[in-house]
Structure 1
Amino acid sequence: MAIRTGRLRFGPHNGRMLLRTGRTGVGSTVGHDLTIEVTDWSLELDVPDTGPADATATARVELGSLAVREGTGGARPLSDKERGEIENKARRTLDVGRHPTATFESTRIVTGEDHATISGMLTLHGVAAPIDVEVREVTATRYRAATAVTQSSYGIKPYSALLGALKVRDDVAVELEVDLEG
């Protein structure tokens, strides 16, 4: 995977970060699988002349900027009111008042012919834990990164309702797509 050298900066102006939640439990048919966009985030990739193996990546995610974009499944379509309620519940679940930001700092980048793995520490909800992010080239100027964040690994109790019959899955898929030319 070829990545140009220099300091590359990404955010909502040239990329998109999505969180995808799933549901579980006996009452899962009434809930929705959600696509949530992070509207305030930044990623900096510093690739020295020695190449991607010596690169560093740092990211910052403002957790108060979550916006529900889509809800699939469920007993009925999501209303605008329900979207707002879900966003508020997500902020409470993440305790955004005390932990408004999640950060990532790479510790190692391994590149392959058509992909890269960025390993590092994600700090979320006041807890730092290791995580791997898989990166693939979509086109010569577009890259897609993906990982799964296990909420309980960061001391977060996944949201539940209906006396626990409807639960958000512990793993949340995180997808990031950036455009080098954007």
Structure 2
Amino acid sequence: MMITNVRGEFQKVSGEAVFDPATPEASKVTATIDVASINTREEKRDGHLRSADFFDAEKHPTITFESKRVRRAGDGYEVVGDLTIRGTTREVTLTVEDVTAEHADPWGNRRIGASARTKVRRSDFGMTWNSALEAGGVLVGDEISIAIEVSLIKQG
């Protein structure tokens, strides 16, 4: 909102990452998000976000990401890929930071964790609904900050 930031999350996300720190350019990342799983802790707002005014979950039930290239950037990485929302695909760059060293988890798996960030304009994906505020301006901002926290489990 233009008045205050609203935070939310998608509770159903799946994906796969092929990653080797020695050869990051050979990495691949894919993700699928169930749009209906959005949760901003306000059911009326969540219902509106699922509607045709925003994500249009009935016609476009998933958001997808597919990487095109990965490269080392400072202490982290940049992942460039195609983000598809509401049937519209745009190239985005994820800045990946806070990559942890590989550790054993309590179940015997080897894991690394990381945080990724980017910003997109919702209007670039056809989400243009808004409402004028009495004092001027509009209710919903165009810029959306995306924060991703991942835990990768080593396979094989």
Specify if TM > 0.5: yes
Residue 131 of structure 1 corresponds to 92
Q: Unpaired segments of 5 or more residues in structure 1?
A: 1-22, 70-82
Structure with greater strand percent = 1
Query: Which residue of 1 is the match for residue 12 of structure 2?
Result: 40
* SS at 2:95 equivalent: strand
Give the one of 71, 84, 87 matched to 2:46: 87
Contact 1:144/1:178 (CA < 8 Å) preserved in 2?
Answer: yes
1:150 aligned to 115, 118, 121, which one?
Answer: 121
CA RMSD of aligned residues (A): 2.4
Unaligned segments of structure 2, at least 5 residues: 102-111
Q: 1:129-170: per-residue Cα shift (whole Å, max 9, x none)?
A: 111101012532321001112111111114436578542111
* 1:113 shift after superposition: 4.2
2:146 — aligned with what?
174
Deviation at residue 128 of structure 1 after TM alignment? 0.8
Matched, 1:108 2:99: no
TM-score, normalised relative to structure 2: 0.80
Q: Matched residues in 1 for 2:50 and 2:130: separation?
A: 11
Q: Which has the higher helix share?
A: 1
Q: State the TM-score, normalized to the length of structure 1.
A: 0.69
Q: Is the 8 A contact 2:76 2:99 kept in 1?
A: no
Q: Note if contact 1:134-1:147 (Cα within 8 Å) is conserved in structure 2.
A: yes
Identity %: 29
Q: Distance in 1 between matches of 2:22 and 2:100?
A: 23
The Cα shift of 1:43 comes to 2.2
- Greater RCO, 1 or 2 (C-alpha within 8 Å, sep 6+): 1
Moved more, 83-92 or 133-142: 133-142
Equivalent in the alignment of 2:34: 62
Q: Distance in 2 between matches of 1:174 and 1:46?
A: 21
Q: Distance in 2 between matches of 1:106 and 1:139?
A: 21
How far 1:47 moved relative to its partner? 2.8
CA contact (8 A) 1:151 1:158 kept: no
Count of residue pairs brought into register by the alignment:
141
